[in-house]
Structure 1
Amino acid sequence: MSSRRMAAITGSLLTASFSAVLLLPHSAVADDQGPASSKGGKAVDEAPAGVKLSTTLPSRISVDNSSQKTAITATVKNDGSKDSGDIQLLVVGFDGLKVDDVKGCSAIAKKDLPEGSNSGFSCPVGSLAAGRSKSYAVDATYDLGKAGKICLPVKSADGKKTFWQQGPVPFGTTNPSPNAPATPLLLGTDNKPVGPSGDQLPRTGAGRDVLPLGAAGGALIAAGAAGMWWTRRRPQG
């Protein structure tokens, strides 16, 4: 076989292999989640002097339309000048968004979940150094036939104080795409459910971003730390 023919065959094989790589499907939940956002978050109880705690969620997630699975990155950070002391991060799902697992965290017993939530995990962060952050990989299921919200409270290790709370803040879209491989959802957007009854979805209310957890006095015993789940309302004005 001539060297010219051998080169031609080799080139064809490389082209076919490259094309096959391009055609490989990608996971819907592995899409770029966009910039992190603290949308729907606010400070609640006063943190120790020099400590400034907050959380962020991705600005968008992607839900696999066949499995209803999605992945979310939850991050807690300390933008202050001093170490935070022992804290914990809670990751809680509401309505159509169910938290299936959070790497390195413990599931909250159903009886200890805040009113209205369907799932939750407690993450022992420990002491977060000044200027540092810690991220958690969240596996979730999203029912596109419903609205879906997530909440990230940052609490003291004993659960008595809530230094920061993001949410419950919705992920959703006003233009669902049930026939596509995946549906992108934006943070802070009420979901318009897929199906004929989508237009009948009740509104979640103007105050959804500041909905306090435990307003009905429900107690939460987080795994590994006992405490009361509560978020006191700030006085008006």
Structure 2
Amino acid sequence: MNTGRQAKIAATLLTATISTVMILPFTATAGETPGSDEGGKVMDEAPAGVKLSTGLSEKISVDNSTKETSDLVASVSNQGTKDSGKVNLLVVGFDGMAIKEVPGCTAIGTADLPEGSNSGFTCPVDNLAAGKSKSYKVAATFDLTKTGKICLPVESADGKQRFWQQGPVPFGATSPSPNAPVTPLLLGTENKPASPAGDQSGGGEGDGEEETLPSTGAGRDVLPLGAAGAALIAAGGAGLWWSSRKPTA
């Protein structure tokens, strides 16, 4: 009897252990940064000991009937040795990619959007401790008849400094099919638009600028400082928007 009872207990413990091992890998941990910082570059020098960067999902998908994307996550992280203090993460869409919602963030007004963008949100981050990150689920749409890009700048709370900018970096598929229910999109891939009839030969040929991977740095794709958002200043739960530009030397 004792031997049988011990065997049952051992079997129960083994089952519980296997279940735990299967569940744990899918549990997100605090400070985890999803995806890749592809297309990212340091801009203005951050305070001593602060090292800011962003991350995007490497692969997302788009519903061909609704144009809604899934699995898109944006993050901001501090890989330095000191707290970041207050900063703003901006999530901005270009071309066929439109940002519809970022929970906990505020939509950027049309007049304040950077040139060439169609939508954007500002996410105020009170503070990022050293080695920590903060992630945001991004609701967006993607028009497969166009190319689509996203940009993640990280600015000081007053909008006068830009410490980091990722993108505008493209999401896309090299051979999308409008007949499929869902199309996977890869980060850093220029979308090759598909015709309504499913013809993969057209779309994008001769478009010039859209066929080139957007560069990152002090060029045409760098968002004007302060144009996309300026700072969201919290005062008793209320926010005040204002725009500013970095003074030129």
TM range (shorter): 0.7 to 0.9
Do 2:39 and 2:168's aligned partners in 1 also have CA atoms closer than 8 Å? yes
Q: How does 1:126-141 map to 2 (within 5 A)?
A: 126-141=126-141
Amino acid at match of 1:213: L
SS in 2 for 1:37: coil
1:193-223, Cα deviation, whole Å (9 max, x unpaired)? 11154143614365613121128x9574454
SS in 2 for 1:111: helix
Q: CA deviation at 1:173?
A: 1.1
Task: Determine whether 1:209 maps to 2:225.
Answer: no
1:154-211, Cα deviation, whole Å (9 max, x unpaired)? 0000000000000000001111021111000110111001115414361436561312
Q: Partners of 1:208 and 1:229 in 2: how far apart?
A: 23
Task: Determine whether 1:162 maps to 2:140.
Answer: no
Structure 1 length as normaliser, TM-score?
0.77
- Residue identity (%): 60
| Structure 1: runs of 5 or more not aligned | 1-34, 233-237
| Structure 2: runs of 5 or more not aligned | 1-33, 233-238
CA RMSD of aligned residues (A): 2.2
Q: Which moved more, 1:150-159 or 1:65-74?
A: 65-74
CA 1:229–1:173 in structure 2 vs 1: closer, same or farther (change >3 Å)? farther
CA 1:183–1:229 in structure 2 vs 1: closer, same or farther (change >3 Å)? farther
Q: Partners of 1:102 and 1:218 in 2: how far apart?
A: 19
Do 1:176 and 1:193's aligned partners in 2 also have CA atoms closer than 8 Å? yes
Which residue does the alignment assign to 1:51? 50
Amino acid at match of 1:45: D
Q: Partners of 1:114 and 1:145 in 2: how far apart?
A: 23
Q: Partners of 1:121 and 1:88 in 2: how far apart?
A: 10
Do 1:108 and 1:222's aligned partners in 2 also have CA atoms closer than 8 Å? no
Q: Partners of 1:192 and 1:201 in 2: how far apart?
A: 12
Do 1:220 and 1:229's aligned partners in 2 also have CA atoms closer than 8 Å? no
- Residue-pair matches, total: 197
